[in-house]
């Protein structure tokens, strides 16, 4: 069974940890591609928990009205998909699965080994993402639920072998609820069992 975790246990503990987090907040950037209900909820969570300042968050969406709304409300930076992927250390893909292929191919050239791609696309496996981007990149698959809008999601996280540091990913999704770590192959079994 997956174990619910708290990012504080594994990440920034004590004074040295707080200093490290303060330094990271000043330089790290998070990008969100797709600003529907889930992408917007994640952005609000990052801001409300003060994970990063507003000017270190980039968003993009084919519907410019959604990005303008986030910019007006929070001051978040707006860019294209490619620009968001290029500028940010963590890139969250919050799109409908049918839009994944074109966007992943579009941003693949910007996904350097130092970057971390996080997908919240339903039904799109890590191996599928890896094949679409065609290069070695840290990939996390996250499965939040719509309770994220109220900050009460339970998010399952799975990672590929390129992921060395899970701290920030845990921190991002802890901002919208609880987090569990689980191997991708056990996802459906665990959630079906929990729902029964």
- pLDDT at position 109 is 93
Q: Which residue has the higher pLDDT, 194 or 35?
A: 35
Task: Give the C-alpha separation, 149 to 48, whole Å.
Answer: 12
- 62 pLDDT band, cuts 50/70/90, is very high
Tokens found for residue 188: 């459906």
CA distance readout (Å), 179 to 4, 26, 34: 6, 25, 21
Residues 6+ apart with CB under 8 A from 181: 2, 3, 5, 156, 157, 158, 166, 170
| Collapsed DSSP state (helix, strand, coil) of residue 32 | strand
Instruction: Go through the domains of the chain in sequence order and give each one's CATH number.
Output: 10-195 (3.40.50.720)
What would the two tokens of residue 144 be? 């939040």
Predicted pLDDT at 39: 96
List pLDDT tens digits, range 76-130. 999 999 999 999 999 999 999 998 889 999 999 999 989 999 999 988 999 999 9
Mean pLDDT along residues 146-173? 92
Give the pLDDT confidence of 4-32 residue by residue, as tens digits: 444 444 564 444 454 455 556 668 999 99
User: How far apart are the C-alpha atoms of 160 and 144, rounded to whole Å?
Assistant: 18
**Coil, strand or helix at 126:** helix
């Amino acid at each position: 069974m997956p174990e619910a975790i708290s990012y504080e246990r594994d990440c920034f503990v004590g004074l040295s940890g707080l200093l490290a987090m303060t330094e990271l907040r000043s330089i790290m950037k998070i990008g969100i591609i797709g600003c529907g209900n889930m992408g917007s909820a994640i952005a609000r969570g990052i801001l409300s928990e003060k994970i990063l300042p507003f000017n270190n968050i980039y968003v993009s969406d084919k519907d410019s009205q959604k990005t303008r709304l986030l910019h007006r409300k929070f001051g978040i930076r707006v860019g294209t998909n490619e620009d968001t992927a290029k500028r940010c250390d963590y890139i969250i893909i919050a799109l409908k699965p049918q839009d994944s292929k074109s966007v992943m191919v579009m941003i693949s050239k910007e996904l350097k080994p130092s970057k971390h791609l996080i997908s919240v696309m339903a039904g799109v496996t890590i191996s599928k993402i890896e094949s679409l981007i065609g290069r070695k990149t840290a990939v996390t698959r996250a499965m939040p639920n719509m309770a994220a809008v109220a900050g009460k999601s339970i998010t399952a996280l799975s990672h590929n072998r390129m992921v060395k540091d899970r701290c920030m990913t845990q921190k991002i999704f802890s901002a919208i609820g609880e987090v569990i770590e689980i191997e991708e192959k056990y996802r459906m079994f665990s959630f079906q069992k929990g729902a029964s």
